[in-house]
């Protein structure tokens, strides 16, 4: 079902007309009310009235996480605090969190976009949504919650953690939709298996997973273990939270971006130059309707490409390819760029290796060293040392071929790598400590 057929199937010209009108209005608003935007625009010599076409967007300066940090906590809000009915925050890897605010209308827009998101993934009234995204400052829990209510589904606000209890509730309440991070979905699947729960007693049909990168192989693994369809959802607190883009039930065709509320651009992360449609680069978003915390050309650091053709599902908005990593996720190992997603891809293609891994980077003398620790199945682990060594060598070989840099592979006992209840921590970089 298409939740908002009127908007989600608009012809291109109509989408662009809406975008231009809304863009002009938001630029005018931030210039008038948010001092850091006014300062940056003045320095760049651009005024709100210079935005005459969508192409003029590129005349506006970028906004980065540093801008938000410098104006912590509320310095980039465009309305007085009396109009802000909620705040959320995302914890960065360093220092203070990024704080975002919502007016009553923003919360309403977000609920509408999350209702679209859920409908896009095939969720409907009568579904029981088991919402295991964290409730709190993180946008996942409440974002899904309001969307599921708007759609008219039944929400179980379970939040993350206490996995055995989650499974009991899922069974007893007849949950049909699972929403959580992909790493937590795997964790749930493993606990189901370990506790010998009869999976035919579970009614989960579809899962909507996001908030962290996950590979196609990881999708297959989750779908197989839980017997469900696994849909990818993307979003970030600075732009709104979940509900920026989502796959439709067709899957693997990219994530539909709600373009009547957000304009996506792809830029070269080095030069900042806008790249033509179809090219891979850093995703940049401008919000068009947000009141409390509008953002202009926000650099997400996420790497993807845009797909401009309408989807077979009938929706006309541009899509983005699955995000496989962030430009700041990239590890530089002895000068070679390595993305954790490449490592995941290699691991997931090896028989007997479990989808639980961690990457440890360190420096020995002047040399970077990378170790990949990965769990193997019980059968393999109890095999002879020779077999284990052979497997580790084979993975090392494949890593070398894929990454063009060597790493050490250590096969570890089942259940030794810490399980995730939210976003998984894949990389431990000891070089920075």
216 near ligand DLL, rule: CB under 6 A: no
Q: Binding segment for ligand DLL among 120-128, 228-236, 310-318, 381-389 (CB under 6 A)?
A: 228-236
Q: Which residue is nearest to ligand DLL (CB)?
A: 210
d(C-alpha 37, C-alpha 58), whole Å:
15
120 near ligand DLL, rule: CB under 6 A: no
- Number of residues binding to ligand DLL, judged by CB under 6 A: 20
26-33 long-range Cβ contacts below 8 angstroms, 24+ apart? 26/286, 26/287, 26/288, 26/289, 26/290, 26/294, 26/296, 27/51, 27/60, 27/296, 29/78, 29/294, 30/78, 30/294, 30/296, 33/78, 33/79
101 near ligand DLL, rule: CB under 6 A: no
d(C-alpha 231, C-alpha 209), whole Å:
6
Whichever of 41 and 323 has its CB closer to ligand DLL, that residue is 323
Among 48, 101, 160, 213, binds ligand DLL (CB under 6 A): 213
Whichever of 20 and 226 has its CB closer to ligand DLL, that residue is 226
345 near ligand DLL, rule: CB under 6 A: no
Residues 157-176 that bind ligand DLL (CB under 6 A): none
Say if residue 135 is exposed, middle or buried (CB neighbours under 10 Å; 0-12, 13-18, 19+): middle
90 near ligand DLL, rule: CB under 6 A: yes
Q: Is 285:65 a contact under the CB 8 Å cutoff?
A: no
Among 77, 110, 184, 234, binds ligand DLL (CB under 6 A): 234
Site string for ligand DLL, 125-144 (x = CB under 6 A): --------x-----xx----
Among 121, 128, 323, 403, binds ligand DLL (CB under 6 A): 323
Whichever of 41 and 341 has its CB closer to ligand DLL, that residue is 341
Nearest 5°: the CA angle 183, 170, 153 is: 95
Q: Binding segment for ligand DLL among 119-127, 219-227, 229-237, 374-382 (CB under 6 A)?
A: 229-237
Whichever of 412 and 427 has its CB closer to ligand DLL, that residue is 427
Q: What is the DSSP string of 283-325?
A: EEEEESS-SSS--SSEEEEEEE-EE-SPPTTS--S-EEPPP-E
Strands (DSSP E) contained in 31-108 are: 86-90, 98-102
Cis peptide before 73 (omega within 30 of 0): yes
Sheet holding 367-376, edge to edge: 408-412, 367-376, 353-364, 427-429
Q: Is 321:129 a contact under the CB 8 Å cutoff?
A: no
Give least dist CB 312 to ligand DLL, A.
21
Q: Is 375:243 a contact under the CB 8 Å cutoff?
A: no
Residues 181-210 that bind ligand DLL (CB under 6 A): 210
Give least dist CB 246 to ligand DLL, A.
9
Whichever of 51 and 423 has its CB closer to ligand DLL, that residue is 423
300 near ligand DLL, rule: CB under 6 A: yes
212 near ligand DLL, rule: CB under 6 A: yes
Residues forming the site for ligand DLL (CB under 6 A):
90, 133, 139-140, 210-213, 232-237, 241-242, 300, 302, 323, 326
């Amino acid at each position: 079902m298409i939740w908002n057929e009127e908007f989600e199937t608009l012809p291109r010209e109509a989408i662009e007309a809406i975008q231009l009108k809304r863009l002009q209005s938001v630029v005018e608003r931030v210039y008038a009310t948010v001092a850091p935007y006014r300062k940056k625009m003045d320095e760049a010599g651009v005024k709100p009235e210079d935005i005459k076409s969508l192409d003029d967007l590129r005349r506006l300066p970028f906004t980065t996480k540093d801008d938000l940090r410098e104006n912590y906590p509320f310095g980039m809000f465009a309305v007085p605090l009396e109009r802000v009915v909620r705040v959320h925050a995302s914890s960065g890897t360093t220092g203070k969190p990024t704080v975002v605010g919502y007016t009553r209308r923003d919360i309403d827009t977000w609920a509408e976009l999350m209702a679209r998101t859920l409908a896009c993934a095939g969720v409907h009234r009568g579904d029981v949504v088991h919402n295991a995204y964290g409730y709190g400052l993180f946008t996942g829990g409440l974002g899904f919650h309001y969307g599921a209510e708007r759609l008219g589904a039944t929400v179980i606000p379970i939040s993350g953690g206490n996995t055995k209890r989650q499974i009991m509730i899922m069974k007893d309440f007849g949950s049909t939709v699972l929403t959580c991070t992909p790493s937590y979905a795997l964790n749930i699947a493993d606990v189901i298996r370990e506790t010998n729960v009869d999976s035919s007693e579970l009614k989960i049909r579809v899962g909507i997973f996001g908030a962290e990168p996950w590979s196609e192989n990881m999708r297959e693994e989750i779908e197989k273990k839980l017997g469900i369809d696994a849909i990818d959802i993307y979003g970030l607190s600075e732009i709104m939270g979940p509900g920026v883009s989502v796959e439709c039930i067709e899957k693997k065709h990219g994530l539909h971006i709600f373009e009547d509320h957000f304009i996506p651009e792809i830029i070269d992360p080095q030069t900042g130059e806008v790249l033509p449609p179809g090219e891979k680069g850093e995703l940049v978003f401008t919000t068009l309707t947000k009141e409390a915390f509008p953002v202009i050309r926000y650099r997400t650091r996420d790497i993807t490409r845009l797909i401009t053709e309408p989807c077979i599902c009938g929706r006309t908005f541009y899509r983005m390819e699955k995000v496989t990593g962030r430009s700041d996720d990239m590890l530089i190992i002895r000068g070679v760029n390595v993305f954790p997603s490449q490592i995941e891809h290699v691991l997931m293609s090896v028989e007997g290796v479990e989808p639980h891994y961690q990457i440890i980077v360190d420096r020995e003398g002047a040399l970077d060293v990378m170790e990949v620790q990965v769990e193997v199945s019980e059968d393999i682990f109890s095999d002879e040392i020779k077999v284990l060594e052979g497997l580790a060598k084979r993975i090392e070989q494949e890593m070398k071929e894929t990454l063009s840099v060597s790493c050490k592979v250590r096969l570890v006992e089942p259940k030794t790598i810490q399980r995730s209840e939210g976003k998984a921590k894949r990389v431990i970089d000891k070089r920075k400590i």
